[in-house]
Structure 1
Amino acid sequence: MKRKVLLIYTGGTIGMEKDYETGSLVPFNFENIFGKIPEMKLIESEVSVHPFQKPLDSSDMGPEQWKIIAGYIGENYENYDGFLILHGTDTMAYTASALSFMLRGLKKPVILTGSQLPIGDLRTDAKENLLTSLYYASLYENDEAVVQEVAVYFEYKLLRGNRTLKFSAEYFDAYQSPNYPILGQSGVHLNFDKDALFRTRVDSPFSVDLHLSSEVLFWRIFPGMTMDLFPVLPKMKVLILQVFGSGTIFSSAETEETLRKIRANGTEIVVVSQCVSGGISFGKYENSNIFSRIGAISGNDITAETAITKAMHLIDNPNYQGTFAENFSSDLCGEMTEDF
């Protein structure tokens, strides 16, 4: 059976080529992608291409574009066996995280990929990333999709989208999933860690939840910073604090007083770690107990990108029962380890 894959091109380096008159990178007509990569015709799947009307640099991608992508997948969910999203690399982890929450009950592959070099460059990584992503997006066993989640494929590795972060602007191997195993690797064969693959409940129907809020603020704590600015911040529904190590912050009375005022304002405080690997453990050190005393929420081993998009998705979302704290602390789609 020939599987059908919908390829959504949003923009980014993978869809660029050099203008030899100016030397600048410009988008090419993505409808001609089969001419750029004729090997695509050798893949045993039927590929339909849907490019954004205006390709976007990934720095311009945000909630409105996430809604467009999620909505388009929802409209075409029954017509395709898998979905491949071509995306700029700088914010791909944010988009993958957001989509993982918006595409509820997902039982088909949604793969994001991009490249560090344009598709026409001699040493480009674009062709391998695109071709192997197509394989992953169309791979079924016993009439069931092998991948049933939002994933990022880059440089021979398949990673859970909401566990992924970009760690290099220089190397082809640009993405890591430090707190979760690699889902699959591409070599002579496509290999999977089947125990690591996400599976939603069989009785959970697929739906698209486009709810996103902009009332989130992310603040990185650093040594010697003043707390004077915090009381004059506009009231936000959620403040995400990126703190030291496993959850510590400077222990002055001013710090606790300021954070209590923010909480009294009705703002939820989520705590995530500045460390790439590991996560938050309230009570491990004395200087983390302040967060327990003020009723902050531990982000456990969640990435900063996923903490932001998860908060945006949960704030005042009528499709969830329980409090924001209860829902944020729950592992919704494989994004965090609950008992970290």
Structure 2
Amino acid sequence: MTDKKPNILLVYTGGTIGMVKDFKTGTLKAFNFNNLLKQIPELHLLACDINTISLEEPIDSSNINPDYWVKIAEIIADHYDDYDGFVILHGSDTMSYTASALSFMLENLKKPVVFTGAQLPIGDLRTDAKENLITSIQVASLQEHGKPVIQEVCLYFEYKLYRGNRTTKVNAENFQAFRSYNYPELAESGVHLKVNHKYLLRRKSEAPFKLNKSLDTNIALIKLYPGISEAVISSILNTANLKAVIIETFGSGNSTTASWFINLLSNAIKKGIHIINVTQCLGGSVIMGQYETSSQLKKIGVISGKDITTEAALGKLMHLLGQDVSDNQFKTKFETSLCGELS
């Protein structure tokens, strides 16, 4: 056993959690994370050493894109051997997208990467930022027998720790802004921090940590609705350089059975475009063939997203396309859980 304190790297990318109010002007300005321990003395009570790093230009999460995912992943990879855990401060609007993407980019991860943010700035009287930040650092510091308890990309918000690639932002005003409908929370913070060990990701492979930076964004997302037209679907499927499409279908993976719709998808698949079936429902799974309205999709070769979130489906799709997975293996790869994103 060792008495060495865990080293935690706090990475600020932008977002509400990193803002403080200038009480003279009423405007929000970026928080100086070099003075973090002075501003939040409670952090001294944590049994870990904390260092901080910020993106050169912090970004509002609404402007996040795969280039920033690569920057965040590179920071983790560059410091992977020097720290026992990482806490990523990120705007909440697209946090689930970034957490999902990094779960695929950080291959064979054996350390915690905990995303968190806030609905109110860190200097606000009623802020949720302090609790989210403090507990996220505590979660990243958890160790048993000299090894991190958490060994995956997570998201902590309002007393709950979730698997990152299982989350969706569901509320723009409540402190409980995120939910994980198809997978239980990994931990819950109350008087005690209760970890649900049986739900934690444990990789069987002993392969070394690897950073995957190649992401292909030649994809499209279509949300089906009653009355969607042939012209709309056709225009999307004929987008230049399109390689894959995620279709958000109804219920357990159902869609219109109109011949024009099935024919458009079938022709796209024959041209080598991968079609992924993801349910619009927040909870539940795609089960193609359960109803007649999805049996034709299964027959023409549409790929089942099962119970994956749209956010995770996008990240996984960009990752697999970036890895140049062959057409013969693509369906199998997508329908296989790589890092806990599928049940």
Instruction: Identify the TM-score tier after normalising by the shorter chain.
Output: over 0.9
In the alignment of these two chains, the number of paired residues is: 337
Deviations 1:50-70 (A, max 9, x none): 011111101111111111111
1:239 partner amino acid: V
1:140 to 140, 143, 155: 143
Superposed displacement of residue 208, structure 1 = 0.8
**Counterpart Cα distance in 1 of 2:302 and 2:325:** 23
Deviations 1:120-156 (A, max 9, x none): 1111000000000000111101111100000001111
Partner of 2:17: 14
Q: Is the 8 A contact 2:272 2:327 kept in 1?
A: no
Matched, 1:215 2:221: no
- 1:256-335 aligned within 5 A: 256-318=262-324, 323-335=329-341
Q: Is the 8 A contact 2:90 2:117 kept in 1?
A: yes
1:188 to 184, 187, 191: 191
Q: Is the 8 A contact 1:271 1:297 kept in 2?
A: yes
Matched, 1:113 2:138: no
Cα–Cα, structure 1 residues 44 and 322, in superposed 2: closer, same or farther, change >3 Å?
farther
Partner of 2:204: 201
Matched, 1:254 2:254: no
Superposed displacement of residue 26, structure 1 = 2.1
**Counterpart Cα distance in 1 of 2:288 and 2:325:** 29
SS in 2 for 1:77: coil
Superposed displacement of residue 318, structure 1 = 4.5
1:308 partner amino acid: L
Superposed displacement of residue 24, structure 1 = 2.5
Superposed displacement of residue 316, structure 1 = 4.4
1:66 partner amino acid: W
2:193 partner amino acid: L
**Counterpart Cα distance in 2 of 1:285 and 1:32:** 58
Most deviating of 204-213 and 268-277 = 204-213
Cα–Cα, structure 1 residues 28 and 320, in superposed 2: closer, same or farther, change >3 Å?
farther
**Counterpart Cα distance in 1 of 2:183 and 2:207:** 24
Cα–Cα, structure 1 residues 113 and 320, in superposed 2: closer, same or farther, change >3 Å?
farther
1:335 partner amino acid: E
2:224 partner amino acid: I
1:158 to 158, 161, 185: 161
Matched, 1:84 2:87: yes
SS in 2 for 1:301: coil
Deviations 1:301-322 (A, max 9, x none): 0000000010000014148896
Q: Identical aligned pairs, as a percentage? A: 47
**Counterpart Cα distance in 2 of 1:252 and 1:268:** 20
Deviations 1:13-38 (A, max 9, x none): 00111233442322122222222211
Q: Is the 8 A contact 1:231 1:261 kept in 2?
A: no
Q: Is the 8 A contact 1:231 1:262 kept in 2?
A: no
Unaligned 5+ segments in structure 1 are none
1:165 partner amino acid: T
Unaligned 5+ segments in structure 2 are none
1:330 partner amino acid: T
Partner of 2:176: 173
SS in 1 for 2:76: helix
Cα–Cα, structure 1 residues 322 and 134, in superposed 2: closer, same or farther, change >3 Å?
farther
CA RMSD of aligned residues (A): 1.4
Structure 1 length as normaliser, TM-score?
0.96
Superposed displacement of residue 293, structure 1 = 1.8
1:28 partner amino acid: F
1:333 partner amino acid: C
1:293 partner amino acid: K
SS in 1 for 2:198: coil
Cα–Cα, structure 1 residues 47 and 80, in superposed 2: closer, same or farther, change >3 Å?
same
1:158 partner amino acid: L
Matched, 1:2 2:5: yes
Superposed displacement of residue 202, structure 1 = 4.5
1:6 partner amino acid: L
**Counterpart Cα distance in 2 of 1:335 and 1:33:** 34
2:232 to 221, 226, 229: 229
